[in-house]
Structure 1
Amino acid sequence: MQTRNRQAGVPLYTQIASTLRAKVDSGQWEVGDQLASIEQLSREYGVGISTVRQAIGTLEEQGLLERVHGRGTFVRAVPRDMRWLPLGADWDSLARNIEELTPRQVLKESSGEQPRLNAGDGDPAPCYHYIRRVHERNGNPFSVVRLYLDSRLFRRAPQRFREELVMQVLKDMPDVEMAGVRQTLLVDGADREQAEDLQIGFGAPVALLHRAIQDGAGTAIYVADFVYRGDVVRLDIDLPPEPNRDQQTQTDLKPLSDKEEIR
C-alpha cells in the first residue's frame, strides 16, 4: 500500500486530484481510457474511498473525467494548455509578460510598511509604499501581489502606480536605473485568502514568486511577492550552449616527446 504524503494545509482530495490530473497531462491516461475502480485507487494511494470520490468529482467538474453508471470512470478530455505566462529569467521575458496584463483592483494600500528582504535583494529604501492587488487577463484573475515600492518613486506618479503595472511605470521613467533583478520561485498550495482572490480551490497548486529590483546604488526600489495560479504559469530558461568538447579535449592533450615512453 502506498500512503499519500499529507501536505500541510492542502486537502487530501486535492492532492489526489492533482496526481490523477498529472496522469492525464502526461499522456499516461488518454481520452477514452478507463480508470481503476474507486476501491483500487483507494488502496493504491492509501486514502479513504470518500477522498477518491471527491478527487474524481473535482476532475469531473473540470471536464477531464466522466463517471458512467454501471461502467466506471473514463478520461473525457485532455486539459487545455493554459500555461500562457512564462516566468523567464531575463529582462526581455519580464518586458513581454507585462504587455498584456491588467491590474484589476487594489485590495489594500498603505505607507510605512517594510518588505521582507532576502539575501541578495539589496539594501532597504528609507520608506516604502505598499500595495496589494489582483492582476487579471481577459477578465480572469491569475495572480495576487503584495508590492513594496520605494516611496520616493511612488510620490512621482501615484495615480499611475495605482492603476497600471508598476514595472511598466518604472520602465517609463528614464532616470530610474533598474540595475539588477533577483527572483525566487516556490510551489505551494493556496491558502484560503489566496484561493478566494484567485477564484480557485483551497489547496490548489500555486507558484510563489519573490522579486526584488535594485537601482544602481544597490537599493531595493521594488520588492514584490506574487501568488500565481498554478495552471497558468510555466518556467522558461535558456541555457548557454555546452562548450565544444572536441576543442577542449584537443587543448588538454599534449603531444608526447621522443623521450617519453608510452606505457
Structure 2
Amino acid sequence: MIDSRAPRLYPVRQKKFGVLDMPDSKAGNATVAALQKSNVSRYIQLAGLFRQRIESGEWEVGAKIPTVKELSEQCGVATMTIRQALASLEKDGLIARYRAKGTFVLDRPKRDLWCEVKTDWTGMLIARDNATINILSDDRNVSLPRYEGHIGNAAPAYRHLRRLHSRDGTTFLLADVFVDERLCSQIDEEAYSKVTAMRLVSDLPGQTIVDANQIVTIGSADLETSDLLNVSIGDPVAKVQRMAVNQHGDIILLANGIYRGDMMKIEVKLR
C-alpha cells in the first residue's frame, strides 16, 4: 500500500500520435498482429513492449499505467499473460503494483551503451576499458565449426576457448574463440584472458593477416545465452562473427561472439 509519505503519482499522459491515442480496436489489432509474428512467449514480448513504453516516456516515471484488464483488451491476450509481463518489470524495479491503487512507473530502464562493436581493423584490436575475461572452457585439437562467409580454408585443428566478458560485474559478451592449433605455442597463455580475439593473432611472427571480415546479425537470447549474459529469454542480442586469414589462405582465427543488445552499439567507419 502507498503510505501518506509517498510522492504524488499522476495518470499516464497520453502522447500525441502514440499507440494509446489510437482507438482501442486499432491499437489492439496492431498489437495482436505483432505478437503473432514471433514464436517468443507472449508475456516476454509484452514485457519488452512495456519496457519500451517506459523508456520512450509514453509511460512516464510516477505515472499510473492502464489496468491489467485494459492492457489485456488492448493487447488481445489473457489477463494472466499481462500479469506475467508486469511481474518481469516489477522484478527489474521499473514498476510497483499496489492493491486498490494500481500500478505505477518507478524508474526507466538503464541503457549503458558503452560497448561499441567497431567495423574497422584497428577498432577490433582495442580492448574495452575495465573489462575482464573469464575463460569458461578450453578445448584442444577441435574442428572448426560451420561459419558464414567464403574466405580462407580451415586449419587441421583449433584451440577452442569459451570466454565471458564483463565490466564492473556486468556481463556483456559471450564468445567462442577458435585459434589455429599450430600457432598456440607462440601466444602467451595470459593473453587468452586479457586481449581481444583479433589481438591474439594480429602480431604473431611469420603471420600476415591478408584477409579479415566481420558479420553482424541480430537475434534473440536462448536459454543458455540468457543465463550467461543475465538477460531474459528472447531479449535482443547481436551475434558477431570475426575471421582472420593468413598469407597462406588459412583461417587462423574464428571468433563467434554474442553481445547483449541493451549494452552495445555498432560504429561504422565510413572514411
- TM tier, smaller: 0.7 to 0.9
Unaligned ranges ≥5, structure 2: 1-27
Distance 2:129 2:161 in 1: 20
Identify the residue that residue 184 of structure 2 maps to in structure 1: 154
User: Corresponding residue for 2:222?
Assistant: 191
Local SS of the residue matching 1:58: helix
**2:54–2:108 Cα contact (<8 Å) kept:** yes
Cα deviation, residue 172, structure 1: 4.6
Aligned residues: 239
CA RMSD of aligned residues (A): 2.3
1:6 CA drift (Å): 5.5
Q: Which runs of 4+ in 1 moved over 4 A?
A: none
What is the letter of the counterpart of residue 122 of structure 2?
Answer: D
What is the correspondence of 1:56-135 to structure 2 with a 5 Å cutoff? 56-98=86-128, 100-135=130-165
Alignment match, 2:252: 221
Corresponding residue for residue 23 of structure 1: 53
Structure 2 partner of 1:202: 233
Normalized against structure 1, the TM-score is what? 0.80
What is the match of residue 170 of structure 2? 140
**Residues 86 and 93 of structure 1 are in contact (CA less than 8 Å); yes or no, is this contact kept in structure 2?**
no
Q: Counterpart in 1 of 2:213? A: 182
Instruction: String of CA shifts for 1:165-221, please: whole Å, max 9, x gaps.
Output: 333333453643233332222222222211222233333322211221222344321
1:107-142 deviations in Å (ceiling 9; x for gaps): 242313222232234222232211122122123322
5+ long unaligned stretches in structure 1: 241-263
The verdict on how the C-alpha distance between 1:227 and 1:173 changes in structure 2, with shifts beyond 3 A counting, is same
Aligned mate of 2:204, from 173, 198, 205: 173
Stretch moving more, 80-89 or 194-203: 194-203
* Alpha-carbon contact 1:84-1:232 (below 8 Å) kept: yes
Identity fraction in percent: 29
Higher Cα Rg, which structure: 1
What TM-score results when the alignment is normalised by the length of structure 2?
Answer: 0.78
Deviation for aligned residue 1:17:
0.8
- Structure 1 equivalent of residue 25 of structure 2: none
